[in-house]
Amino acid sequence: MSEFSSISSFHEALYAGSTTCTDQVRYYLEKIARAGHLNAFLEVYETEALERAAALDARIRNGEQLGPLAGVIVGNKDVICYKGHKVSAASRILEGFTSLYSATAIERLLAADAIIIGNLNCDEFAMGSTNENSAFGPVLNAEDTTRVPGGSSGGSAVAVQAGLCQVSLGSDTGGSVRQPADFCGIVGLKPTYGRISRHGLIAYASSFDQIGIFGRNIADVAAVLQVIAGPDDYDSTAAQQEVPDFQFRPSHNKSYKLAYLKDALHHEGLDTEMRGAFTSFFEELEAAGHSVTAADFAYLDYVVPAYYVLTTAEASSNLSRYDGVKYGHRTGQQDLDLAEFYKKSRSEGFGKEVKRRILLGTFVLSAGYYDAYYTKAQQVRRLVVDKLSEILSAYDAILMPTVPSTAFKIGEKTSDPIAMYLADIYTVLANLAGVPAISVPLRRHSNGMPFGVQIITRQFDEVNLLSVADHVMQMLRTDRSKELNCLK
């Protein structure tokens, strides 16, 4: 049994009778067992996955028509609810909690006959950029286990990177799909805010959170998006727009009008070697017949402060529900009044990073500081939305780095949270504006680690986003093939 390069190649073999869903599940279960040191999975649904695979195989033998994701092996981030399965947001405060319902995205995957193989590790309550904040230990980057995989969806990224599942779900509040995709050398999509229902997604910052998708290629990501996107009666923020054909691809003879943010490319925090690679890549695009133009964006240094003020404020509100009364961790200490009971339960249950963000959020919402911080951050968000909309109205897409550096060493930035937050400078932009963005692999650094390019388009223009991304990947694949031929 070997791994298939795409969902379509797997389905071709599946319906030709040269493989089965059961074969697939067994193959991935073996790989997951061998990769336990990466700590990507918190729980593996071995028995359930095998039973579901056997049922799908029986339906195929009976000549039944299966769903569009038949037998596709999917990993699920531990912030997305799956009925009858544990969901903890990688936090001690929810340790052992079993979900009473499934997220809409999960229900749609199951209806499409996908197989969910397990629950994936992440930063606690999706707060982090390294997956070092999980209550269940850090996830390791499969390319170099001394380095972080990125976060907060580190487990979801590594599961795809290491071939432990075909695709996976993550969540993206400020880059938590795109940044780990970059660090792990795979594809990571954050759709338009509202494109995928948030029903069943444990909230961090409700006006920023969006379920995202990891894969090895654009076609697989598009196939999953096709299934899980769309309106949802359970989520008032889910968009009512009709779901287009995300799997349609225009001819690659098309010339794109592209922009890059001049301030992003010349930002002092961007790795020098990466800056050179982006400049070279833009020149290659122009040589291929596309226009690539520098665009001014004066607000880059304000996006991270605005993002952290707004998201921590929303987190302070969202996480107030975890009080040890209704569910979650409850302190064992006796004879406490109600206020002390709340404090003790929450102090024991939440990790350091979550506490830091709750404190910051509570502060910026407090009397005397609300206008100085929260209101100002909302004003910055409005400016960002308007300016980005202005740029995107004139171009097919914006290109920019996903992150300012390649994956760093485990523990390298844990003592400096501000430096960690600033690493989100290129990704939070899309979340502030609610626009779709994707990270695709671009090059390898001289340190051996991959890094990607981020592509941003207008709201609800995922068809164009995926088309540009697919063209970029095809172009880069051709370039690599030429390099390999020259080495022969």
Q: One of 77, 91, 190, 439 is an active-site residue; which one?
A: 77
Q: List, in order, residues 6 or more apart from 224 with CB less than 8 Å away.
A: 69, 74, 109, 167, 169, 213, 215
> How buried is 81 (Cβ within 10 angstroms: 0-12 exposed, 13-18 middle, 19+ buried)?
buried
Mean pLDDT value across residues 416-433: 90
| 176 is annotated as an active-site residue | yes
State residue 407's pLDDT score: 97
Task: Write the CA distances from 233 to 56, 58, 212, 224, 230, integer angstroms.
Answer: 29, 33, 20, 20, 10
Confidence of residue 422 (pLDDT cuts 50, 70, 90): confident
Q: One of 99, 102, 152, 345 is an active-site residue; which one?
A: 152
The dihedral over CA atoms of 271, 272, 275, 276, expressed in degrees to the nearest 10, equals: -150
Mean pLDDT over the full length of the chain: 95
State residue 429's pLDDT score: 97
Task: Write the CA distances from 13 to 71, 116, 381, integer angstroms.
Answer: 12, 20, 48
The answer to whether residues 58 and 289 touch, using CB atoms and an 8 Å cutoff, is: no
Which tokens in the block code for residue 286? 């122009």
Residue 482 scores a pLDDT above 60? no
Q: Could you give the CA distance from residue 192 to residue 184 in angstroms, rounded to a whole number?
A: 23
Q: What is the pLDDT of residues 137-185, one digit of tens each?
A: 999 999 999 999 999 999 999 999 999 999 999 999 999 999 999 999 9
Which tokens in the block code for residue 285? 């695009």
Q: What is the pLDDT of residues 73-112, one digit of tens each?
A: 999 999 999 999 999 999 999 999 999 999 999 999 999 9
Task: Write down the pTM of the prediction.
Answer: 0.96
Confidence of residue 487 (pLDDT cuts 50, 70, 90): very low
Q: One of 99, 168, 171, 176 is an active-site residue; which one?
A: 176
The answer to whether residues 49 and 25 touch, using CB atoms and an 8 Å cutoff, is: yes
Q: How far is CA 447 from the centre of its chain?
A: 24
Residue 484 scores a pLDDT above 70? no
| 206 is annotated as an active-site residue | no
Residue 479 scores a pLDDT above 70? no
The answer to whether residues 94 and 322 touch, using CB atoms and an 8 Å cutoff, is: yes
Which tokens in the block code for residue 301? 């240094």
Q: What is the pLDDT of residues 59-70, one digit of tens each?
A: 999 999 999 999
Mean pLDDT value across residues 418-443: 94
| 77 is annotated as an active-site residue | yes
Q: Could you give the CA distance from residue 391 to residue 379 in angstroms, rounded to a whole number?
A: 19
